[in-house]
């Protein structure tokens, strides 16, 4: 039975807290090793190896690492878009041209984020992406994704839908974060694939 409305919020909060606690205990060496494995697995995906434009993000803290992947995509000539957080939690976008194109930005009391230092392209720039890498905390057997709860990527997904854009949606996770079921709401849509250090899992329901 699917969860609808606000009834699932306590379940989401509990699951987020559990996953973030486990991530917070990961040794830095494990995070670095995982980033290399994730990049290797992800680059085997046609959605990434054949993309002209990829909207991605810079991992922070103990998140599954993305920098190795970003660098390889950029070296291969892929146009990589990275988000910049706006005051209303929406996302603007800029182009990644290597590690020197990132600024560390602190938003209020939140963790500092690495954001593109170049010109801003506007929130609609994401609609040009062939593939969108979504941050997440878990994905279930249906391809439903649990986000961090800030709502930024809900806006991105709504913007893509409004524009009629249909990029591939991919999530990078640690292996234990592919779970049996994530609380989902009526408007949630499955992703196309999840990449973990041990491999790739696809979801035919991804739209």
Q: 148: annotated binding-site residue?
A: yes
Share of residues in the chain with pLDDT > 70 (%): 93
The 10s digit of each residue's pLDDT in 48-60 is: 989 999 999 999 8
Q: pLDDT band at residue 10, thresholds of 50, 70 and 90? A: low
Which residues touch 178 (CB under 8 Å, ≥6 apart)? 138, 139, 140, 194, 196, 201
- Is 67 annotated in a binding site? The answer is no
34 is in an annotated binding site: no
pLDDT at residue 150, rounded to an integer: 84
Residue 145, annotated as binding a ligand:
yes
Q: Does the annotation flag 102 for ligand binding?
A: no
Residue 202, annotated as binding a ligand: no
Q: What's residue 47's pLDDT?
A: 92
Question: 96: annotated binding-site residue?
Answer: no
Residue 1 has pLDDT above 50, yes or no: no
Residue 152, marked binder: yes
Q: What is the mean pLDDT of the chain?
A: 90
Is 206 annotated to bind ligand? no
Q: How many angstroms separate the CA atoms of 55 and 7, rounded?
A: 32
**What homologous superfamily does CATH list for 9-200?**
NagB/RpiA/CoA transferase-like (3.40.50.10420)
Question: What is the pTM assigned to this prediction?
Answer: 0.90
pLDDT of residue 153: 94
The verdict on whether residue 153 carries a ligand-binding annotation is yes
Q: String of b and e for 21-37 (b: at least 16 CB within 10 Å)? A: eebeeeeeeebeebbeb
Q: Which of 11-15, 48-52, 149-153, 183-187 has the lowest mean pLDDT?
A: 183-187
């Amino acid at each position: 039975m699917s969860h609808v409305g606000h009834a699932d919020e306590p379940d989401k909060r509990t699951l987020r807290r559990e996953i973030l606690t486990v991530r917070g205990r990961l040794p830095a060496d494990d995070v670095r090793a995982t980033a290399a494995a994730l990049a290797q697995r992800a680059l085997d995906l046609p959605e990434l190896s054949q993309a002209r434009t990829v909207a991605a993000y810079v991992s922070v803290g103990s998140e599954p690492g993305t920098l190795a992947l970003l660098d390889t995509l950029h070296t291969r000539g892929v146009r990589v878009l990275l988000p910049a957080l706006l005051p209303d939690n929406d996302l603007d976008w800029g182009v990644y041209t290597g590690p020197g194109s990132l600024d560390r930005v602190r938003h209020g009391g939140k963790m500092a984020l690495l954001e593109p230092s170049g010109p801003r392209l506007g929130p609609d720039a994401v609609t040009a992406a062939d593939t969108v890498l979504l941050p997440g905390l878990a994905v279930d057997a249906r391809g439903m994704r649990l986000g961090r709860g800030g709502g930024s990527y809900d806006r991105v997904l709504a913007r893509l839908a409004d524009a009629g854009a249909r990029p591939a949606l991919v999530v990078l996770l640690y292996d234990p974060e592919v779970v049996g079921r994530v609380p989902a709401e009526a408007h949630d849509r499955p992703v196309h694939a999840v990449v973990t250090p041990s491999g790739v899992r696809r979801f035919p329901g991804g739209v």
